[in-house]
Structure formats: structure tokens, C-alpha cells
Chain A
């Protein structure tokens, strides 16, 4: 079964440092997403990406965040200057189309710990 892969599985970083989280979506999927989940809380939307540009973003996705699709396979989330409150599990997801009936396939996540 096709899957979304994320690396690294766990990253520890010092406050103020930049981090890049990497994702390889399913190859024939067109829409890509980043979500995060703070421990014990619900899954929250960060950003959606289609046709090499951001299609939507949430209030969480401020100027410290950026996304890129540098080549045909990778999809990255960069946090420029991490804060303690950025500690969370970050999930990448993809789906086939923009229709409302498409569910997402999530990657296994990157656990980011900011110290």
C-alpha cells in the first residue's frame, strides 16, 4: 500500500534554532498538507499546498513557518526560529484530489521537541 514517509521520526532542537521536517507524499497525489498535534490535544491544520503554492493556511502558520516542494518528491516544513510551544508531533498528509470526499493519508509523523 502506498504510504507517506516522514523524516526524521524524532528531532530535538534548541529554542531559536531552525528545523526542517521532511515528507515524501504518495507519488500520484496532488494535494499536500501539514498538521500538528500537541501531546494530548487534537490534530490541528497548519497548511495545504497544491500546484507548487500554498492554497490555505491557518493562524498557527505564521511568518516563522514555510513550506517548499524543492523537487518532484519532497515536501518540507521549515520552522525558522523554534519556540518551546512548537513542541508537537508534526504530520504530513496527502490526498488525490480537491473533492470533498477524499480522505487523507498521513505520514507517521515527526516528534519535535524544543528545549
Chain B
């Protein structure tokens, strides 16, 4: 089983739609969680950290369920500019070695 699993997509949605991405992780010792976005052939960019209580940043809402080892990202009112690959990232502890990237979920937002 992969340590971080994501639905690869692609998700094709119209502008204005709400879309949700899911991610599961296998290591129960994982300590911190992030969502990054990556545009084609560009670097990953930190979108938001994910906290146990859930957190929101504008149109983006992240949730964490430690019992189910599940992370989600909800995007409301999708924009064309949201088209990208969304990477679920799990940190098992300090240091980069224990930071595991999921393979990403591709999102296409259409006009």
C-alpha cells in the first residue's frame, strides 16, 4: 500500500463548481499535513497546512480525520486559474526524508 494515496483524476469541472479531493495516508505516526498545488512543469507551491480542527482559506477548506487517516481539500466556486495538480503531503516527523508527497490529483476547470 502506498504511504500517501490520492485519486489521480483528472477531475473536469465547470467554473463555479465545488470540487473535493481526498487523500489517505498509511502511517498513523504522521504528524503534519499539507496541500500543495503544482502547475504543469512548475514547482509545488504550498497551498495550506491541514489542522486537526479543519481550516479554511478563502474558497479552500481542508479537513483532517486522524482516526480514518484521511485528508480532504474542498474548493468552492472553482476558477479557471484553479486548474492544476493538487498534491497531498504528509510529514511523518522532522526532516525532509519523512515528508512524503502523494502523486497528485489533476483538476481542469472549464469555462
Contacts and interface: CB of A to CB of B under 8 A. Distances in A.
B97 A57 contact: yes
Contacts, number: 62
A48 B97 contact: yes
Chief secondary structure at chain A's binding surface: strand
A55 B95 CA distance: 8
Count class of interface residues, chain A:
20 to 34
Contacts of A31: 95-96
B59 interface: no
B44 A43 contact: yes
A104 B95 contact: no
B91 to A, nearest CB: 5
Interface in A9-64: 31, 33, 35, 41-45, 47-48, 55-58
A43 B96 contact: no
Interface in B1-58: 31-32, 34, 36, 41-46, 49
Count class of interface residues, chain B:
20 to 34
B84 to A, nearest CB: 14
A106 B43 contact: yes
19 contacts: A33-B96, A42-B87, A42-B102, A42-B103, A44-B101, A45-B97, A48-B95, A56-B98, A57-B97, A58-B97, A89-B41, A93-B96, A100-B93, A103-B46, A103-B49, A104-B96, A108-B42, A109-B42, A111-B41
Interface of B: 31-32, 34, 36, 41-46, 49, 87, 89, 91, 93-104
Interface of A: 31, 33, 35, 41-45, 47-48, 55-58, 89, 91, 93, 98-101, 103-109, 111
